[in-house]
């Protein structure tokens, strides 16, 4: 790999919606083998900047870009200097050639994956097949990429059976299999367990030693960011601070931003986990009783693989008034346990009880009348035209809904829910106009507005900045104080220590006190 440098001068980038510039006045120079951190709170423009550098934001003709992207010639694809004025005669990047050299792993892994591959191996091989890479070389690259991201033993696994963290590893592998010269990672540590985080750090080190320039876009200063040579802090799409990592970490701008730097004091003096909730009920509102559940695996050459036991005699009890956190490595089965409590999966043995009744065979819609679920990917539950309509939908804003509310009462409660998660000023926006972290908060608001007796949250902290984490802590605490049983899965151990009343660890299919 050569010493190509990517330089970018983003003078102005704005979508064709009449709004202000999404990114403006940002300059970056990426040297081969370097690590650059782009920090910023939710909505600061990090993901938009990443998409500009990757060429994604320049496709489709729905935005105006004024600036320069300069990528020197490479071994397999031409480079060049591209100057944009925001006019119809602007150059067009050949995204296939550009993407072969400038890889981008978005915040949502699904945005990179094809969704059509039957196995992890096929997904990793897809881009190489499109480029006509010889089969022996392709197989070697696939095995190397899978091993590098910790999926070496899962090449035959259907991507649809991967956990959220494993999906992120797969997306990273898909970007790396092409051996790019520039690698841009948007919130790469989100959904990863401790082992995955360490593997990511090692992988970035290997990429740099091979000459790749790596850029990390994130709202949190973690172990990987601390190794960055240069740093850029974004605020409202512009440069708030730039220089060495030491310069930015010591700046007043960082302290005022929503970037997570270190463990924050509990909001409102909230408790530290390690004991039952003061107002905890005596009868569990949600319960797994010796539940066993297995996923079938895709075999090779027509030979079915043995089923994989995800839950193996798993038991837990969640009481009203308490926050129960579920931890464990990627793929341990935390999301599967939550799906059982939501009535979205049926145990092969054992029982699932909600409000004291066995929900075996109950329609998921009936279970949802008392159980609210936040899925790991917020887009799985967002479909309305505006944020306000999204929250009001479950309340029956057009009349009487499941919550038995009239239109005005439903609207008032929907606005209250949006306010509670900090989206009061974005009620009229389309959900897909929000950042990924804001979409997560919106999905949370849709659940909170219904005031369910059991609240299930799958990785609710992923991608949230400091302000988002504080809001989450407050609203989850308020739900528990109101009598709900809150069960959440997470890898955010510092946040859990100050928020949850109890923590259970899932390993080998069973829960134990942590």
3-class SS letters over 37-64: EEEECCCCCHHHHHHHHHCHHHCCCCEE
Q: What is the mean pLDDT of residues 97-112?
A: 91
Fold for 318-346+362-370+452-514, please state it.
Rossmann fold (3.40.50)
For every residue of 323-339, which 3-state class applies, written as one string? EEEEECCCCCCHHHHHH
Q: Is the pLDDT of residue 476 over 90?
A: yes
**302 or 166, which is more confident?**
166
pLDDT band at 503 (very low <50, low <70, confident <90, very high): very high
CB 378 within 8 A of CB 440: yes
User: What tens digit of pLDDT does each residue of 161-209 get?
Assistant: 898 889 999 999 999 898 999 999 999 998 888 888 888 999 999 999 9
Name the residue with tokens 């709004």.
19
In the structure encoding, which two tokens stand for residue 232, read together?
């850029």
Tokens representing residue 414 in the block: 């929907």
Instruction: Write down the pLDDT at residue 93.
Output: 86
Provide the 10 A C-beta neighbour count for residue 378. 24
CA–CA distances in Å: residue 305 to residues 98, 119, 154, 155, 302: 39, 13, 12, 12, 9
Domains 6-256 and 318-346+362-370+452-514 share a fold: yes
Residue 329 is encoded by which pair of tokens? 């490595």
pTM for the model: 0.88
pLDDT range class, residue 385, cuts 50, 70, 90? very high
Sheet containing strand 213-218, edge to edge, reads 102-105, 182-186, 213-218, 35-40, 230-235, 238-244
Q: Inform me whether the pLDDT recorded for 12 exceeds 60.
A: yes
Q: Residues with Cβ < 8 Å from 293, sequence gap 6 or more?
A: 309, 310, 311, 333, 336, 340, 345, 347, 348
Around Cβ 510, how many Cβ atoms within 10 Å? Answer: 17
Q: What is the mean pLDDT of residues 238-256?
A: 95
In angstroms, the Cα distances linking 83 to 26, 54, 55, 89 are 15, 15, 13, 10
**pLDDT mean over 97-103:** 90
Spatial distance between the Cα atoms of 464 and 41, rounded to a whole number of angstroms: 8
- Average pLDDT of the chain to the nearest whole number: 89
Instruction: For 6-256, give the CATH class.
Output: alpha beta
Beta pairing, strands 284-300 & 303-319: antiparallel
Domain residues of the chain, as ranges? 6-256, 318-346+362-370+452-514, 375-450
Q: Is the pLDDT of residue 18 over 70?
A: yes
Q: Encoding tokens for residue 440?
A: 């997560």
């Amino acid at each position: 790999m050569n010493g190509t440098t990517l330089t970018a001068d983003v003078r102005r980038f704005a979508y064709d919606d009449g709004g202000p510039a999404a990114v403006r006045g940002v300059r970056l120079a990426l040297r081969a083998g370097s690590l650059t951190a782009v920090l910023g709170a939710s909505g600061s423009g990090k993901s938009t900047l990443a998409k500009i550098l990757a060429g994604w934001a320049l496709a489709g003709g729905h935005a105006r870009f004024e600036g320069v992207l300069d990528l020197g010639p490479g071994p397999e694809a031409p480079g060049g200097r591209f100057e944009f004025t925001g006019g119809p005669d602007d150059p067009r990047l050949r995204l296939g050639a550009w993407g072969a050299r400038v890889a981008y792993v978005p915040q949502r892994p699904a945005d990179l994956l094809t969704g059509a591959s039957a196995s992890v191996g096929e997904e990793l091989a897809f881009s190489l097949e499109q480029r006509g890479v010889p089969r022996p070389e392709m197989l070697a690259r696939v095995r190397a990429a899978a091993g590098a991201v910790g999926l070496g033993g899962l090449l035959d696994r259907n991507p649809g059976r991967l956990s959220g963290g494993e999906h992120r590893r797969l997306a990273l592998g898909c970007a790396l299999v092409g051996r790019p010269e520039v690698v841009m990672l948007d919130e790469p540590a989100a959904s990863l367990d401790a082992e995955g985080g360490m593997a990511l750090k090692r992988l970035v080190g290997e990429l740099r030693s091979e000459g790749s320039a790596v850029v990390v876009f994130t709202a949190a200063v973690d172990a990987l960011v601390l190794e960055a040579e240069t740093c850029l802090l974004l605020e409202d799409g512009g440069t708030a601070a730039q220089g060495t990592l030491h310069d930015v970490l010591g700046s007043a701008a960082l302290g005022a931003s929503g970037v997570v730097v270190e463990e924050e004091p509990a909001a409102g003096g909230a408790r530290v986990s390690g004991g039952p909730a003061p107002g905890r009920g005596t009868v569990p509102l949600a319960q797994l009783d010796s539940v066993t559940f297995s996923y079938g695996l895709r075999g090779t050459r027509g030979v079915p693989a043995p089923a994989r036991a995800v839950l193996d005699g798993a038991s837990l009890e969640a009481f009203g008034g308490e926050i129960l956190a579920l931890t464990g490595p990627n793929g341990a089965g935390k999301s599967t346990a939550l799906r059982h409590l939501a009535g979205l999966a049926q145990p092969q043995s054992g029982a699932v009880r909600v409000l004291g009744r066995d929900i075996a065979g109950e329609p998921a819609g009936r279970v949802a009348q008392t159980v609210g679920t936040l899925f790991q990917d917020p887009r799985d539950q967002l479909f309305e035209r505006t944020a306000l309509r999204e929250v009001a939908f479950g309340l029956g804003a057009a009349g009487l809904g499941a919550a038995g509310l009239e239109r005005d009462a439903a609207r008032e409660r929907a606005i209250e829910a949006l306010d509670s998660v900090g989206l009061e000023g974005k009620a009229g926006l389309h959900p897909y106009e929000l950042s990924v972290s804001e979409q997560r908060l919106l999905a949370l608001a849709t659940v909170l507005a219904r005031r369910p007796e059991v609240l299930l949250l799958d990785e609710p902290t992923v991608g949230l900045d400091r302000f988002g984490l504080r809001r989450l802590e407050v609203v989850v605490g308020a739900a528990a104080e109101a009598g709900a049983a809150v069960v959440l899965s997470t890898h955010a151990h510092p946040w859990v220590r100050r928020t949850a009343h109890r923590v259970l660890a899932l390993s080998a299919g069973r829960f134990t006190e942590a």
